């Protein structure tokens, strides 16, 4: 019954809003419209400007190196600027991060929004948002002094013992390496995914849940069949934002990944990511082509991020399209 | 909203710019930028200088050698600082922009070979061949016979060696790879010298603190850090066999001994790794100041040369205070000569 009255209220509110729209002076309307347009275009302009400046600054390198950039050897002194190893490192660490942080973040958000008592949910949600604001160098130092030894002594040997038949978990375990990079990123991405997903779940109208429960569903069915589908696009947004953080993170990864440009299957081996290269080498880089090559790494990271985001969205659109049918 | 404090600051700066010259004619501010390595020394020394010389302040931005050279060439700073002298291409660009450049050694740093092996002495002995073979990935275990042969009575465990090197571009890496290139033809042909090289083995860590952290929590680690860093953090580091065959620990004295072997150090012949002399520690290098030979403002140029002369002589005591190595007497004389060539 409260639902009915709420609908009545919202219907009248809608009507009065429509009435109000015609009452507002057209001039104010147009100015506001212009401001909104300008804001939207401003964001696009920033992205375009960023791309153009990166392109312009990396032009000397593009001209000198050409397609040599898509090789594996990075040796600035010898004039070799191959970035494939960095692209590989960025994609693998981000994939590990999202594989772990996605389920954990969404799970945490579901718990906080649907199951946890208010007394618990509010402080925990606040703490999660606080985690999202911790500077990445703090995560990096924690990673170097806590996570890395734990991987070397416990996580690595356990993985090797259980999944040692996979090339992913073979070879010596140094602690630092691709796995440490992926794990530190996943820890950094969880707060982003959890905080946004929770907001999205809380925005799911209650009648969705009540309708589902009224049909006799369990809480689990209510969450998977009513809340999650309704919130899908918002959750995808949360994952994409999390992925963005993982792709672009430099400092924390630099401190735990081992910074060795190589493409090998084992996650225990050191690796290198795109964002780490300029962070490591820019301040001491000398010579036009070298500096320009570092900026080209930035340009390529920009393009890789764009491609990854687009393909993530396409993937979800396809999946959700199929889901509806 | 955020802009307003900044704007008022800019406004205040503009106003101050008009008023200050009238209030105190002697007020001079020098701006420097460049390498991070000499920063602890510079910040102490320049502070002390401005205490003794009213009206003179020196601000140094430790943005890295590359940035320092770029800012210097663009004339946005009064002096630059670099871990290694400018390359020919950089020098050509600078000369084209503003005439000749004077490069002056300002302090010395040594590089310690640090390691993490339980149960062995705090200062094991290492020979150039062993260091090169470890860095090349040819010696991979601490129980290798070549290490034991140098350290009679020390029992080395069966423990894989994990090489830790700098991941960021750094003068420390340059001096270390310069040393390796001199002692190992194999290293010279395969890897060579540079601030960033294509390391044959090991993991990279960022900064001295990253390398030190990595070494301290990886059993079996083997790496190189600035001596000041090894001393301040009480790390285990090796005595390295020098050209005369002696095993020498890195210390301000042994590094100064190596540097004094080459009094005529200059931007073209600046390497002081693998020097002769039985007290010389073989892995070290200078930090360099970059100054324009022709100073646009004679009064300010005079103040600058006075500052630099003090920095390479009296100011050297502040280098020792941060575990850097003061310039040897004979190099101080050379530095003063170089400063004397600056036209005011």
Question: Tens digit of pLDDT for each residue in B192-248?
Answer: 998 889 999 999 998 888 899 899 888 999 999 999 888 888 899 999 999 999 999
Separation in Å, CA of A242 to nearest CA in chain B: 25
Separation in Å, CA of B30 to nearest CA in chain A: 22
The percent of residues in chain A predicted with pLDDT above 90, rounded, is: 52
Strand B56-61 to B247-248 pairing: unpaired
Q: B-chain residues within 8 Å CB-CB of A80?
A: 198
| Dihedral, A175, A180, A184, A187 alpha carbons, nearest 10 | -100
pLDDT of the residue at A325: 37
Determine the average pLDDT of the residues in B146-172: 92
> Do the beta carbons of residue B95 and residue B101 sit within 8 Å?
yes
Each residue of B293-322: pLDDT tens digit? 998 888 889 999 999 999 999 999 999 888
pLDDT of the residue at A22: 56
Separation in Å, CA of B194 to nearest CA in chain A: 6
> Do the beta carbons of residue B318 and residue B295 sit within 8 Å?
no
Residue B28 — very low, low, confident or very high, per pLDDT cuts 50/70/90? confident
pTM of the complete model: 0.82
The percent of residues in chain B predicted with pLDDT above 90, rounded, is: 60
Q: In the block, which residue shows the tokens 């390198």?
A: A61
Dist. CA B200–CA B190, nearest whole Å: 9
Tell me which residue of A60, A286, A289, A292 sits closest to B290, measured CA to CA.
Answer: A286
In DSSP notation, B130-159 reads: HHHHHHHTS--BTT-HHHHHHSTT----S-
Separation in Å, CA of B177 to nearest CA in chain A: 12
Tell me which residue of A139, A138, A143 sits closest to A155, measured CA to CA.
Answer: A143
Q: Tell me which residues of chain A have a C-beta less than 8 Å from any C-beta of chain B.
A: 73-78, 80, 141, 144-145, 148-149, 152, 172, 174-177, 254-255, 258-260, 270, 272, 276, 279-288, 291
Q: A-chain residues within 8 Å CB-CB of B69?
A: 286
Q: B-chain residues within 8 Å CB-CB of A78?
A: 192, 198
Q: B-chain residues within 8 Å CB-CB of A172?
A: 160
pLDDT of the residue at A283: 81
Q: Report yes or no for ipTM above 0.85.
A: no
Q: What is the mean pLDDT of chain B?
A: 88
Residue B7 — very low, low, confident or very high, per pLDDT cuts 50/70/90? low
Spans of chain A, pLDDT less than 50: 1-9, 11, 322-325
Res B30 pLDDT > 90: yes
Nearest CB to A255; choose among B169, B193, B206: B206
Residues A284, B66: C-beta atoms closer than 8 Å: yes
3-class secondary structure, B233 = coil
Q: B-chain residues within 8 Å CB-CB of A77?
A: 192-194, 196-198
Residues B199, A260: C-beta atoms closer than 8 Å: yes
> Do the beta carbons of residue A136 and residue A248 sit within 8 Å?
no
Tell me which residue of A269, A101, A84, A279 sits closest to A180, measured CA to CA.
Answer: A269
pLDDT of the residue at B158: 94
Determine the average pLDDT of the residues in B148-159: 92
Residues A78, B206: C-beta atoms closer than 8 Å: no
Q: B-chain residues within 8 Å CB-CB of A276?
A: 167
Tokens read off for A36: 């909104």
pLDDT of the residue at B22: 44
> Do the beta carbons of residue B33 and residue B63 sit within 8 Å?
yes
pLDDT of the residue at A319: 62
pLDDT of the residue at B26: 55
Put simply, whether B194 touches A (Cβ < 8 Å) is yes
Which domains are present in chain B? 5-107+286-340 (3.40.190.10), 110-284 (3.40.190.10)
pLDDT of the residue at A21: 56
Tell me which residue of A234, A7, A270 sits closest to A106, measured CA to CA.
Answer: A234
pLDDT of the residue at B201: 93
């Amino acid at each position: 019954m409260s639902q009915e009255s709420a609908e009545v209220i919202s219907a009248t509110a809608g009507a009065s809003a429509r009435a109000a729209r015609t009452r507002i002076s057209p001039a104010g309307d147009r100015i506001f419209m212009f401001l909104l347009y300008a804001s939207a275009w401003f964001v696009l302009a920033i992205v375009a400007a960023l791309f153009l400046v990166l392109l312009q600054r990396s032009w000397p390198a593009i001209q000198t190196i050409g397609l040599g950039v898509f090789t594996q050897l990075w040796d600035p002194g010898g004039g070799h600027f191959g970035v494939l190893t960095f692209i590989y490192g960025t994609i693998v660490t981000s994939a590990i991060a999202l594989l772990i942080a996605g389920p954990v973040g969404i799970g945490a958000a579901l718990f906080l929004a649907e199951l946890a008592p208010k007394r618990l949910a509010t402080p925990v949600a606040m703490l999660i948002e606080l985690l999202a604001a911790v500077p990445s160098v703090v995560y990096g130092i924690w990673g170097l002094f806590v996570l890395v030894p734990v991987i070397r002594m416990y996580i690595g040997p356990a993985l090797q013992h259980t999944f040692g038949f996979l090339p992913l978990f073979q070879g010596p375990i140094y602690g630092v390496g691709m796995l440490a990079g992926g794990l530190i990123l996943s820890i950094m991405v969880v707060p982003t995914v959890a905080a946004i997903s929770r907001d999205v779940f809380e925005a799911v109208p209650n009648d969705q849940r009540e309708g589902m429960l009224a049909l006799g569903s369990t809480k689990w069915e209510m969450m998977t069949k009513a809340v999650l589908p309704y919130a899908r696009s918002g959750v995808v947004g949360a994952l994409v934002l999390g992925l963005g953080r993982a792709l672009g993170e430099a400092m924390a990864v630099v401190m735990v990944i081992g910074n060795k440009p190589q493409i090998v299957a084992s996650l225990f081996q050191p690796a290198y990511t795109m964002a780490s290269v300029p962070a490591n080498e820019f301040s001491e880089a000398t010579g036009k082509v070298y500096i320009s090559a570092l900026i080209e790494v930035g340009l390529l990271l920009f393009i890789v991020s764009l491609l990854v985001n687009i393909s993530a969205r396409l993937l979800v659109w396809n999946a959700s399209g199929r889901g509806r049918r | 909203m955020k802009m307003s404090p900044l704007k008022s600051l800019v406004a205040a700066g503009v106003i101050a710019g008009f008023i200050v010259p009238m209030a105190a004619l002697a007020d001079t501010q020098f701006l420097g930028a460049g390498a991070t390595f000499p920063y602890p020394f510079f910040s102490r020394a320049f502070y002390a200088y401005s205490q003794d010389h009213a009206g003179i302040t020196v601000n140094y931005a430790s943005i890295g050698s590359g940035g320092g050279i770029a800012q210097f060439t663009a004339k946005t700073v009064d002096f630059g600082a670099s871990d290694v002298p400018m390359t020919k291409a950089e020098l050509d660009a600078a000369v084209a922009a503003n005439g000749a450049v004077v490069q002056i050694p300002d302090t010395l740093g040594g590089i310690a070979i640090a390691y993490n092996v339980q149960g062995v002495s705090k200062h094991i002995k290492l020979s150039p061949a062993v260091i090169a073979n470890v860095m090349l990935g040819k010696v991979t275990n601490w129980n290798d016979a070549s290490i034991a042969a140098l350290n009679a009575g020390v029992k080395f465990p069966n423990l894989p060696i994990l090489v830790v090197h700098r991941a960021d571009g750094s003068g420390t890496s340059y001096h270390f790879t310069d040393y390796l290139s001199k002692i190992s033809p194999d290293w010279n042909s395969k890897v060579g010298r540079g601030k960033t090289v294509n390391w044959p083995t090991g993991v990279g860590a960022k900064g001295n603190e990253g390398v030190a952290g990595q070494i301290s929590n990886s059993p079996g680690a083997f790496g190189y850090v600035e001596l000041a860093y090894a001393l301040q953090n009480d790390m285990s580091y090796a005595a390295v066999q020098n050209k005369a065959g002696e095993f020498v620990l890195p210390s301000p004295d042994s590094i100064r001994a190596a540097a004094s072997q080459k009094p005529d150090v200059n931007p073209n012949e600046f390497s002081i790794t693998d020097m002769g002399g039985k007290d010389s520690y073989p892995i070290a290098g200078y930090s360099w100041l970059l100054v324009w030979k022709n100073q646009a403002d004679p009064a300010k140029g005079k103040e600058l040369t006075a500052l630099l002369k003090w920095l390479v002589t009296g100011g050297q005591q502040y280098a020792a205070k941060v575990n850097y190595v003061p310039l040897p007497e004979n190099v101080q004389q050379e530095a003063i000569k170089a400063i004397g060539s600056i036209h005011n």
